[in-house]
Amino acid sequence: MAKQVGREQQGITLRGSAEIVAEFFSYGINSILYQRGIYPPETFTRVQKYGLTLLITTDPELKNYLNNVVEQMKEWLYKCIVQRLVVVISSIENNEVLERWQFDIECDKTAKDENEPREKSQKVIQDEIRSVIRQITATVTFLPLLETACAFDLLIYTDKDLAVPEKWEESGPQFIANSEEVRLRSFTTTIHKVNSTVAYKIPSH
């Protein structure tokens, strides 16, 4: 707490920004997994975050996996070499991609050389993040029902010259053919800006 208060006064540093964004991804992905019913709702538990009640997984394996990804993301965010994180939801049976949550990350690479922290209140950032997460929750109003059992995949777009770490592999973009795209809100820490979009199959008319 003390640390946070301190940071609020100090403004936003690159490391702090990376942390905020990585944390957002952690909660965001958890929210998507819960809202879209990828894992049974019993395996989630409530936590208070961003002034909201969020659900995060209690499944140890999933938790571990997500932590790994988020840690990796944090590192890349700090290095400003990550461009995009995508949560792909696909049917287990035929591997058809049904939903694609895309978080575009704009890194301000000049921040690497700066020593001065940027001025933005942590509270404002939190409010912005809250709006994004609320929108993720609200997407049930228009997203199609996922009728089959689904699995999810995380894709991370990085700069080209990056060596693929262990346990990661290169992948295609896994687009949805004939999809409807809805832009969600975005938030920025002044160093990292995250634009969110969700794509889903166009309902047949």
Partner 1 sequence: MSQDCSDEWELSKENVQPLRQGRVMSTLQEALAQQETSIHTAFQLKRQEFESKIRFYSGDDPLDVWDRYIKWTEQTFPQGGKESNLPALLERAVKALNEQKQYYKDPRYLNVWLKFGNYCNEPLDLYSYLHSQEIGTTLALLYITWAEVLEARGSFKKADLILQEGLQRKAEPLDRLQSHHRQFQTRVSRQTVLGLEETPDEEETGLLGAAEPQRTSLADLKGRGKKKVRAPISRVGDALRATNQTRSFQTPASQQLSSNPGFAVFDENSASGPEVPVLTPQPWTAPPAPRAKENELSAGPWNSGRRPRSSVNSGPEVSYPLPNFTPYVEESAQLQAMTPCKIEPSINRVLSARKPEKEEDPLQRVQNYQQDTQEKKEMIMYCKDKVYAGVEEFSLEEIRAEIYRKKAKKKTEEEMQAIAQEMDKIQRKIEELEKKLKKKEGDEQQQSCEQPPEITEPSPSFGLQGFTSSSATEVGEKQPQLQRASWFSITGDGLLPPQDPAAFFTVFDESSTLSNQNMSCSADHAQKSARCPLAVHKSSDSLPANENVSPEACDELNGTEPLAEDAIVTGSYKNQTICANPEDTCDFVRAAHLASTPFHGVVAQRIPDPGLSQSVLKENCPEAKSTPPNQEMLVCEGVYNEPLCVNKLSPIMEASLEDTHSSGGSVSSGSSLSSVTQISTMKYPHIPQKLELAHSLPAETAADSGRIIGDDATGILWSTEQRKKLLDPMPESLTASPYFHLETGPLPIIELEKDVELGNDTYCIKWKYWTKEENKMFFAIPASIPQLDAKGFAIKVYSQPIPWDFYITLQLQERLNADFDQNFSENCCCYLFQDGCAVLHRDINRFTLGDIIRGSKTITEEVILLVVYNLLGVVEKLHNAEVVHGDLNPDVFFLGDRICDPFANEEMMRALKIVDFSHSLDLRLQSRVSLLNSFPISQTPHGQQLLVKCPSLYQVDLVAIADIVHLMLFGDHIQVYQEDSIWKISQNVSNDFWSKLLGRIVNADGKSTVPLLRALRLEINDMFDSSFQGRLCESLVELGETLGELPGIS
Contact set with partner 1 (CB under 8 A): 40-42, 51, 93, 127-128, 130-131, 134-135, 138, 140-145, 147-149, 180, 182-185, 200-205
List alpha helices for 48-197, DSSP H. 60-79, 122-138
Report the DSSP beta bridge partners of residue 201: 179
For partner 1, the closer CB: 113 or 147 = 147
Round to whole Å and give the CA distance between 79 and 48.
29
For partner 1, the closer CB: 174 or 197 = 197
What's the min distance (Å) between Cβ of 155 and partner 1? 22
Q: Kindly report the number of other CB atoms within 10 A of residue 105's CB atom.
A: 21
For partner 1, the closer CB: 109 or 123 = 123
What's the min distance (Å) between Cβ of 92 and partner 1? 9
Round to whole Å and give the CA distance between 205 and 83.
35
What's the min distance (Å) between Cβ of 174 and partner 1? 19
Round to whole Å and give the CA distance between 136 and 127.
14
Round to whole Å and give the CA distance between 154 and 157.
10
What's the min distance (Å) between Cβ of 153 and partner 1? 20
For partner 1, the closer CB: 72 or 196 = 196
